[in-house]
Amino acid sequence: MKAAPALSPELGAALRRLRLGRIADVLPERALLAHKQGLSFEETLLGLLTDEIARRQDAQATTRAEQAGLDPDMTFERFDKASKVTYDRRLLAELSSLRFVDAGRHALLMGPVGTGKTFVATALGHLACRHGYGVHFTRADRMLHTLRKSRFDNSRDAVMRSLCSVDLLVVDDFALEPLDRDESRDVYQLFVERTGRASMIVTSNRDTSEWLAMFDDPLLGQSAVDRFKNGAYDLVLEGESYRPHRKPSVHENDPPPSAPVGKRPGARRRRR
């Protein structure tokens, strides 16, 4: 078998100065493959650049997902299709197209505890990251806690601007607990500012008709909920809990456990 041609130090250095170091790493093998397949110089170069573009896009999507706070394991590729959860597949396909993000509409994911609402919301967030959208994932209680603390250091306006300006805001477990006066105002402002301008994905165990009772101020609640529900797709997930499908377990093919790092097998603690 013919060996891949060596890359000259000058060419390797030039590629790295142009931040094309990954191309330098694969160029010898790709050149050999191009020779075997009879590819032209233009075809070979196009293949190298196309692969580099895809690699950079994947890296950027991974960075955006990390910054968004998305669980890396909650993607549609990892969704267990054997789970006994029912939902409108046409609607999920529509949401997966991300047209609702372009249109500034929302998505409400409803259903009993454990049916995979958070998983689907996070997976949609990953899709948005792959398509270049800015995404932020937060649990509703954490978001409200952050806004509550921001009132003490006069950073509330900055926090609210950040929540209102991101392309896609994912709010998990909304309306689990009643909202006090300040929280009601925060949610009202968030829903008003984002509706028609930027998209949200909200997961909840409650229907929007039950949200009204969660607000301290009924009028603010009616205004906020009316805006949100009339600008949102409703995806209902029903069935058995999805969580057992993600429950950790030990399999026969798993390697045997090793001693914890920093401890010797059989080591005993010293008595004081």
Share of the chain above pLDDT 90, in %: 62
**Greater model confidence, 226 or 13:** 226
* Pairing state between β 106-110 and 199-204: parallel
43-52, 63-72, 99-108, range with the lowest pLDDT: 43-52
The pairs formed by 245-253 with CB atoms below 8 angstroms and a separation of 24 or more are 245/80, 245/82, 245/83, 246/73, 246/80
How many CB atoms are located within 10 Å of the residue 1 CB? 4
How confident is the model over 129-180, as pLDDT tens digits? 999 999 999 999 999 999 999 999 999 999 999 999 999 999 999 999 999 9
Residue 68 · residue 41 · CB < 8 Å: no
Position 73 pLDDT exceeds 90: yes
* Pairing state between β 135-139 and 232-236: unpaired
pTM flag (> 0.75): yes
pLDDT score for 40: 87
As a whole number of angstroms, the distance between CA 47 and CA 154 comes to 52
As a whole number of angstroms, the distance between CA 219 and CA 204 comes to 21
**What would the two tokens of residue 242 be?**
């999805």
Residue 169 · residue 107 · CB < 8 Å: no
pLDDT score for 20: 79
**Greater model confidence, 71 or 241:** 71
Q: Is 204 helix (H, G, I), strand (E, B) or coil?
A: strand
Position 58 pLDDT exceeds 80: yes
Position 272 pLDDT exceeds 50: no
pLDDT score for 24: 80
Q: Which residues pair with 168 in a beta bridge?
A: 135, 199
C-alpha torsion sign, points 23, 26, 32, 38: negative
